[in-house]
Every structure is written in C-alpha cells, then in structure tokens.
C-alpha cells in the first residue's frame, strides 16, 4: 500500500484504470456512479493505517464503500426530515404542531 498520500492517489488512479473495461460495460448513468465513487476514494483521507497492504485494491474498494454508505445515511436522514415536514399539521385545540407518520389513511 502507499507510503504517502500522493502514492495512494496514484494507486487509486491505477485501480480506476485497471477497472476501465468493467466501467466501459456499465450503462452511462452507472458509469457516472462509478466515477463518483472513484472520486470519493480520491477525496477520502489517506488510509495510512493500511500502508503495509500488499494489494492496494481492497483499501480503495472499502474507501469507496464507506463513502457510499455515508451518502445512503445522509439521504435517509434527509428523507426522514422531509417526511416529517410534509406530514406536519396544526393541532386544532392548542395550535401546537403534531408530526404524524404518513400512512395510507392520512394521505
């Protein structure tokens, strides 16, 4: 594995180049997702704790997976927040706001 951040970035670039035939078989939208994950691996902090790995592929792949999982968590939180906002209804008795989950009966 890389001994410094610059070498790690070179290894990520080499990884992406090695997987170019795989990327080429993806649909255009999927290629954009692949590219975003490679970019995310480049932007993540240098994984110096795995610098002695003989095969740089796995730390790169897991950097991509961690970034993807972070995006999923952010999106779920945003959906949950937006869901609460769309179900907000004034309480007729007190003027307070209630947050009800969306169900088929109250849509």
The total domain count for the chain is 1
pLDDT tens per residue across all 107 residues of the chain: 445 667 778 888 999 999 999 999 999 999 999 999 899 888 877 665 555 556 778 788 888 888 888 899 999 999 999 988 877 655 545 555 554 555 555 54
- pLDDT of amino acid 34: 92
pTM attached to this predicted model: 0.60
Q: What gap in Å lies between CA 14 and CA 95, rounded to an integer?
A: 61
Distances (CA, A) of 30 to 11, 33, 35, 81, 107: 22, 5, 9, 28, 34
Whole domain around residue 11: which residue ranges?
Answer: 5-106
- pLDDT of amino acid 88: 60
Contact at 8 Å (CB) between 73 and 85? no
């Amino acid at each position: 594995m890389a001994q410094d951040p610059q070498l790690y970035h070179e290894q990520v670039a080499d990884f992406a180049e090695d997987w170019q035939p795989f990327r080429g078989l993806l649909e255009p939208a999927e290629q954009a997702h692949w590219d975003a994950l490679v970019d995310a691996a480049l932007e993540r902090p240098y994984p110096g704790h795995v610098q002695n790995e003989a095969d740089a592929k796995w730390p790169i792949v897991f950097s991509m997976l961690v970034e993807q999982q972070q995006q999923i968590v952010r999106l779920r939180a945003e959906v949950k927040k937006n869901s609460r906002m769309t179900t907000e209804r004034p309480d007729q008795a007190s003027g307070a706001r209630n947050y009800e989950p969306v169900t088929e009966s109250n849509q």
